[in-house]
Amino acid sequence: MKTILITGSSGQIGSELTTRLRKIYGARHVVATDIKPGGSGLEQEEGPFETLDVNDQRALHDVAGKYKVDTIIHLAALLSATAEKSPLFAWHLNMGGLINALETAKELQCQFFAPSSIGVFGPASPKDSTPQVTVQRPVTMYGINKVAGELLCDYYYARFGVDTRGLRFPGLISYLTPPGGGTTDYAVEMFFEAVRSRAYTSYIGQGTFMDMMYMPDAIDAIIALMEADPAKLVNRNAYNVSAMSFDPELLAAEIRRSIPDFRLTYQVDPVRQQIAESWPDRLDITAARQEWGFRPSYTLERMAVDMLGHVAARLP
Ligand code: AKB
């Protein structure tokens, strides 16, 4: 039986992952931590929760030691748009938090997961069917952090034998906890505004395609990768994963199947638009399929129907 420590457990991924892992491994075996409570609130109610600043190496080590964890899932990080507003802070949080979590994993001999991102690619990477192994020259602070993070995780595996694993997440779509400060957040906002007001103004321009995935598939992917046979993992840090690729028009068309009078307009934000244009249109996910059986189950159509149902149920 695993005992898992999650950092950033109140965030978009953390809040749903904590609940799922507690169902699999038991509430006592999943220690949720965050710098502040938040998220769905369940991560504090359903099992152990500790307030933790990942930049505090000693505190991180002490919490992991107190619960005798054997797995660390390190989610605490700043996303792309926020990182671009405060690049120095992003460097300290994203890199400082990661190295502290890796050191703890090394000292306590833990298995380790850290999310990477489509942000590791840049304008010099192939835009379509972006390969697993290709040019990685990102032009954002977030992307630089993520590339350095992938390399650090590889280093801790090769040098110290820490069982590090990671996924390059695309935009993640969910209804429970909102994403914060990402470039792909527009997709989630569009669902909520479509149900609330039947209209949405997109900060990402028409024709800008990005990879996306529904949260249940993202959670399944983390669990599948962490359970995968280590002998089969060639590209540990980190695997391209994605379930769909769309631009704002394509998503709006899908929403109109359920809300025919939904109106989409544009007010493009130059910073987030530039970030989006530097990222791939569509990833090649062959390595994840072949090495550990990645198989997302939500298409754009299935995801949109499910999302709209849940968002309608949540809004007053
Ligand atoms: C962001 O937009 O910053 C994230 C990501 C793709 O890593 N959702």
pLDDT digits 0-9 by tens, 236-251: 999 999 999 999 999 9
Gap between the Cα atoms of 15 and 177, Å rounded = 7
pLDDT average, residue stretch 90-98: 98
Which pLDDT score is estimated for 192? 97
Quote the percentage of the chain above a pLDDT of 90.
94
| pTM for the model | 0.96
**Domain annotation covers residue 229:** yes
Q: How far does the centroid of ligand 1 lie from the alpha carbon of residue 11, in Å?
A: 13
**Domain annotation covers residue 7:** no
Residue 8 has, within 13 A of its CA and on its CB side, a CA count of 25
Beta strands in 86-240 (DSSP E): 111-117, 128-130, 164-169, 171-173, 199-202, 210-214, 239-240
Gap between the Cα atoms of 229 and 110, Å rounded = 16
Q: From atom 1 of ligand 1, which residue's Cα is the shortest distance away? A: 182
**Domain annotation covers residue 64:** no
Query: Does pLDDT of 42 surpass 80?
Result: no
Mean of pLDDT over the chain: 96
Q: pLDDT band at 43, cuts 50/70/90?
A: low
pLDDT average, residue stretch 226-235: 96
Please check whether residue 116 is in contact with residue 168, taking contact to mean a CB–CB distance below 8 angstroms: yes
62 contact partners, CB below 8 Å, separation of at least 6: none
**Domain annotation covers residue 300:** yes
142 is catalytic: yes
**Domain annotation covers residue 131:** yes
Q: How far does the centroid of ligand 1 lie from the alpha carbon of residue 108, in Å?
A: 30
Q: pLDDT band at 39, cuts 50/70/90?
A: low
Strands 244-246, 210-214: pairing is antiparallel
Ligand 1: which atom is nearest the Cα of residue 142?
3
Q: Does residue 117 have its Cβ closer than 6 Å to ligand 1?
A: yes
Q: From atom 8 of ligand 1, which residue's Cα is the shortest distance away? A: 171
Ligand 1: which atom is nearest the Cα of residue 211?
6
Q: How far does the centroid of ligand 1 lie from the alpha carbon of residue 107, in Å?
A: 30
Query: Does pLDDT of 300 surpass 90?
Result: yes
Q: From atom 7 of ligand 1, which residue's Cα is the shortest distance away? A: 117
154-164 pLDDT per residue, tens? 999 999 999 99
- DSSP reduced 3-state for 270: helix
CATH number at residue 277: 3.40.50.720
**Domain annotation covers residue 107:** yes
Rounded to two decimals, the ipTM of the complex is 0.99
**Domain annotation covers residue 42:** no
Ligand 1: which atom is nearest the Cα of residue 119?
7
**Domain annotation covers residue 95:** yes
Q: Does residue 42 have its Cβ closer than 6 Å to ligand 1?
A: no
Ligand 1: which atom is nearest the Cα of residue 172?
8
Ligand 1: which atom is nearest the Cα of residue 184?
2
Which pLDDT score is estimated for 316? 81
Residue indicated by tokens 């062959």: 286
Q: Does residue 184 have its Cβ closer than 6 Å to ligand 1?
A: yes
The CA radius of gyration of the chain, in Å to the nearest whole number, is: 19
Which pLDDT score is estimated for 315? 85
Q: How far does the centroid of ligand 1 lie from the alpha carbon of residue 243, in Å?
A: 15
Residue 192 domain boundaries:
77-314
Please check whether residue 4 is in contact with residue 32, taking contact to mean a CB–CB distance below 8 angstroms: no
Q: Does residue 182 have its Cβ closer than 6 Å to ligand 1?
A: yes
Q: pLDDT band at 36, cuts 50/70/90?
A: confident
The 10 Å Cβ neighbour count of residue 95 is 16
The best mutation among 85, 86, 93, 117 to test binding of ligand 1, ranked by most ligand atoms within 8 Å of the C-beta, falls on: 117
Q: pLDDT band at 45, cuts 50/70/90?
A: confident
Q: Does residue 119 have its Cβ closer than 6 Å to ligand 1?
A: yes
- Between 81 and 178, the more confident residue is 81
The best mutation among 93, 94, 185 to test binding of ligand 1, ranked by most ligand atoms within 8 Å of the C-beta, falls on: 185
Asked whether the CA dihedral 268, 274, 275, 281 is positive or negative, the reply is positive
Query: Does pLDDT of 40 surpass 90?
Result: no
Which pLDDT score is estimated for 41? 67
The catalytic position among 67, 142, 200, 298 is 142
Q: How far does the centroid of ligand 1 lie from the alpha carbon of residue 227, in Å?
A: 25
- Between 40 and 303, the more confident residue is 303
Q: pLDDT band at 38, cuts 50/70/90?
A: low
Total domains in the fold of the chain:
1
